[in-house]
Amino acid sequence: MKTVQSAEITAAVRKLAISASCDLEPDILDRLLAARDREKSPLAKNALEILVTNANIASREQIPVCQDTGIGVVFITIGQEVFVEGNLEEAVQEGIRAGYADGFLRKSVCDPVTRKNTGTNVPAVIHLEMVPGEKLRIGFLPKGCGSENMSGLVMLPPSAGMAGVEEYVVQKVKDAGSNPCPPVVVGVGLGGTFEKAALLAKKSLMRPLGDPNPDAKVAEIEQRLLQRINQEGQGVMGWGGVNTALAVHMETYPTHIASLPVAVNIQCHAHRHKEVEL
Amino acid sequence: MQRPIIDKGFFENLRPIAIPFEKNVLQTLKAGDLISLTGSLYTGRDQTHRRLVALLDEGRDLPIDLHGQLLYYVGPSPAKEGQVIGAAGPTTSYRMDAYTPRLLELGLRATLGKGSRSLPVREAMKKHGAVYFATVGGAGALLSKSIVKSELVAFEDAGPEALFRFEVVNFPAVVINDLEGNDYYEMVAAQRSGVKYEKAI
C-alpha cells in the first residue's frame, strides 16, 4: 500500500499545466524540423520555421506556445494499492486552477448554456482508470478547440470494413482543412462502443509523437493513413505542401458483431501533452 | 515596449501595409500575397461578436466605429508583468461567419484569423469591398512580439473575449480572400488536385 497526499497531486497537476503549455516535448521540435526539411511549398516551409522559433521563444520566456491553452483533459491511472489522502478529484481541479492562474494561461472554460466563463479554467475533464499495482500516473493534455472542434465519430456498418474506416478518417482531416493548425496529429479510436471509441481517440494523443501501435497490423494502418493524408491534405496551415499530418495514432478495442465505431480526434502541431508518475 | 522581432527570415518579401488602410490599397492585394501589417486594429472573437451584434439588434451604438477597420480574431492569454500581452495568435475564423456580414455592412474592411470562410461571408466581403487575411496558427508566442500596445476597449467581463485595440508592427499575414473573390485555400487545393482554379463566387 502506498499513500499519496492530495497536496502532492495538486502540485504535480499545477506543474504539468504550466509546462504543457510552455514547453513542447523535444521530439515534437525534431518532427517539425524534419517536416521543414522535406517541405516543398516555400510558404509552408516558412510556417514550419516559424512554429519552431515560436516554441523556442515560448520555452525561453515561459509564454504559452499558443494563446488557446485549452480545456484540461486529465488521465489518471491509479494502482489498486494506492491510497489517496483527501479528495482526488478536488486535488486535480485545484492543480488546474493554480497552474492556469500562476502560469498566466488563458482561462477558456465556460458554461455551455450561458457561455459565461468560469474564470479559473476549471473544471477539467478527468478520466480515471484503475490498474493493479501501486503507481499513480497523471497525464495532462490541454486541448485547444481549433483542433477539438474538427473531431468526429461515426458508427459504421461492419460491411464498410477497413476501407470505410480509412475513408472516414482521411475525409475528416481533409474537411478540417486549415482550421486545426496543420501539421496535425490524428488520433483514431476504432471499436468498442460510442463513448469508448471517442476515449481511445483522445487517449492515443498521449502517445509519444509517431510511436507506432504495438500491434503490427494497426501500425500498418497508421502508416497508410499518414501517407494518404499527406498526399491528399491541404498542407501546413492549408498553404500546400506535403505535411498535413505529423503522425496518425490509432487505438483499438474489440467491438460488437453489429458495429464498427470510428472516432477521430485531431490535435494541432504543438501536440501538447505531459505525464508524471507519483 | 518590446521590440518587434518578426521581420525578414520568417516570411521573405513581405509587403508592408498600413492599417487602417490607405486609399486604394485593398484593390492591389491578391490572394496568396504575403504582407506585414503596421498600425492599429481591433480584436474580437465569439462572445465579442455575439455582443456587438446583440447591440445592433437592440438598435444601440457599438463601442467602436468599425468603418475602415481591421478586426483580428484573437483571445490573448494574460500578460505577465512587463509584457504588452501574452500569447496572441489567431483563432479559427469560421465561428465568426454568422456575424461577419452584419459588421461588413458597417464598413469593416478586413478580418484576420485562420481557416476558410463561408460562401455567404465571401459574397458579403466582395459586395462591401473587404478582404480576409490569415496568419500562422499556433504561433502565439512569436506573434505577440509584433504587438507593441494593447488596450481594453469594451466587454471586460468577457475575459479573453473582451474587445481590445492593438498597435502592431510588422505583423505577418497572407491574403486569403481578395476583392475579386479569389480564395487562396481553394487555389492551393486546385493546384494539388491538378485542376484549373475557378472562383466559387
pLDDT digits (tens, 9 = 90+) for B21-60: 999 999 999 999 999 999 999 999 999 999 999 999 999 9
| Per-residue pLDDT, B30 | 97
> Can the peptide bond before residue A183 be classed as cis, meaning omega within 30 degrees of 0?
yes
What ipTM goes with this model?
A: 0.95
Vertex A41, ends A38 and A45: CA angle to 5°?
A: 65
pLDDT at B197 > cutoff 70: yes
Whether residue B128 lies in the annotated active site: no
pLDDT at A125 > cutoff 60: yes
* Dihedral sign from CA coordinates of A156, A158, A160, A161: positive
Q: What does the block give as the cell for A235?
A: 498542407
pTM: 0.95
A contacts of B92 (beta carbons < 8 Å):
146, 149, 179
Provide the 3-class DSSP secondary structure of residue A3: strand
Whole-Å CA distances, A119 to A98, A173, B63, B108, B158 = 12, 32, 24, 31, 9
Cβ atoms within 10 Å of B63's Cβ, excluding its own: 13
pLDDT band at residue A27 using 50, 70 and 90 as cut-offs: confident
Residue type (1 letter), B20? P
Cβ atoms within 10 Å of A195's Cβ, excluding its own: 12
Mean of all residue pLDDT scores within chain A: 97
| Integer Cα distance of A274 and A70 in angstroms | 14
| Per-residue pLDDT, B1 | 34
pLDDT at B146 > cutoff 70: yes
| Integer Cα distance of A12 and A278 in angstroms | 8
pLDDT band at residue B8 using 50, 70 and 90 as cut-offs: very low
The four Cα atoms B185, B163, B54, B123 give a dihedral, to 10 degrees, of -20
A67–B174 CB contact, under 8 Å = no
A67–B76 CB contact, under 8 Å = yes
B contacts of A117 (beta carbons < 8 Å):
158-161
Given B21, B45, B49, B112, which residue is catalytic?
Answer: B49
Alpha-carbon distance B59 to nearest alpha carbon in chain A (angstroms): 23
Is the CB of residue B11 less than 8 Å away from at least one CB of chain A?
Answer: yes
Residues B85/B99, Cβ–Cβ less than 8 Å: no
Least confident range from A148-152, B12-16, B61-65: namely: B12-16
